[in-house]
Each structure stands twice: as structure tokens, then as C-alpha cells.
Amino acid sequence: MLKNFLFDLDGTLLPMDMEKFIELYLASICKKFAPVIGIDPKLFARGIWKGAAAMGKNDGDCLNIEVFWRAMNDVCGKDMRVFSDSFDDYYRNEFVASKQATSVNPFAQKSVELIKKCGGKLIVATNPIFPKSATYRRIEWAGLDTNDFEYITTYDNSSRCKPNLNYFADICSVCGIVPEESIMVGNDVDEDMCASRLGFEVYLIKDCMINRKNKNISLYNNGSFADFYYWLENNI
């Protein structure tokens, strides 16, 4: 019996044109910070990319937030963490420019409501490369309430990223759940469906699917978010 429902965010709960999102995000964050910090925008953007890559390789030595700032400092040649409060202010304000690359899927909202009604535990299992402020904002863009979720992974509370299986094991430990009673719902064949190797049920959302290696998706339950909602009605 499924008791715990883990959802990816970008491209799953929040439909997204990823290429456009990254373009808008980097343009807006560089516009805000490059003049203030006195740094070349391309160098600043390189710091963001290196920080994301470093977090992706983190294997539990420290929180992702520490890895991110270490990488930013290395690229930018100065202590960037002194601007952390300004980063949070950016995510609460100018970050909204990136919303143009996203949309709302009513079946994501309907699925969350159905799970709540049935007493299931809801978790946002998004790759934790953003701070809490940015992650909560994107959940709101999806038309969802952050209070509906028991746990939300961010770079402030996580020390690994998908597809590292210990990322999912950490969620189980923190939330007191077991894979055999849980499902991971996501759009990324590599990063989300790998949870099946730990014993999770999985469901691949195809609306904004990412399948870098053209893997055989028939191995997984799959369909649109509408399809998932109807599947959920029969499996909750």
C-alpha cells in the first residue's frame, strides 16, 4: 500500500521549458548581482554552474549549501557568501522573471489534493541545488501550498543530489518512511526512476520528460500527469 508520495518539482509538479528557464534565470540573477559585486556577468554565471556541478557530486561530506558557496568563491575569487541575504532577496523578487518558462498543471494540483484527502504523506523530492526561498517560490508557481508537504529538499537541508541513491535513502531516514510503501514521481528517467533500485514504486511523467540516454521507458509506469491522476485513483 502506498503511503508516501515523493514528487520531483521542475518538469513534474511545475511544467517547465528547462532551456528557457535557465536562460531567464541566469539573465536575471546576473543583472542583479554582477554590477553590485563588480564582477563580469559571464564569470558570475560560471560560478553558478560550477556550484551546481559541485553539489551534484556531493556525497554527504557536508550540506550542499557549503559546497555551493565554496565553488562560487573559487570561481569568483572572493567571499561570495557575504551576499547570501541578497540572494534570498533575489529569489523572493527578481527570480519571478523565470516564471515565464513555467506553467500550471491542474492534474498536479488534483493529485496533491487526492493524496491529502486519503492521508498520504507528501514530499517534494527536487534536486536540492536551490535554497529554500527559490524552491518554495517554484512550488507556489505550480499553484501549490508548501504547507501541504511534510518535507521539501533544498540545498540548506541536503548533502546529496539525484541520481545518488543515498539522496532517496536520506529522505527515508529524515521522514521515517520505507521505499516499499513509497512512490517517486518524476519526469527525469535518470534522476527519478533510479529510485526503483531502492524498492520505490516509480511513475514517469512524460509531459516534460527528460531521457538523455533514450532509455526504454516501458520499464516504468508512465504517462501524462492526467494519466497519473487516474492511475492514482486506483492505487491509493
The DSSP annotation for 62-131 comes to: S-HHHHHHHHHHHHHTS-GGGGHHHHHHHHHTGGGGGGGGB---HHHHHHHHHHHHTT-EEEE---S-S-
Helix %, strand %, coil % of the chain (to 5)? 55, 15, 35
pTM: 0.96
Is residue 1 pLDDT above 90, yes or no?
no
Alpha-carbon distance of 236 to 229, in angstroms, equals: 10
Q: Provide the grid cell at 50.
A: 560550477
Q: Minimal CA–CA distance to 131: which of 230, 65, 197?
A: 65
Residue 234 burial class via C-beta count within 10 angstroms: exposed 0-12, middle 13-18, buried 19 and up? exposed
- Identify the pLDDT of residue 36: 84
Residue 37 — very low, low, confident or very high, per pLDDT cuts 50/70/90?
confident
Query: What mean pLDDT comes out for the span 169-179?
Result: 98
Instruction: Report the CATH fold assignment for 4-16+104-233.
Output: Rossmann fold (3.40.50)
Query: What mean pLDDT comes out for the span 160-182?
Result: 98
Q: Express each pLDDT in 79-93 by its tens digit.
A: 999 988 999 999 999
Q: How far apart are the first and last CA of the chain?
A: 7
Q: Minimal CA–CA distance to 74: which of 109, 105, 106, 48?
A: 48
Query: What mean pLDDT comes out for the span 206-210?
Result: 98
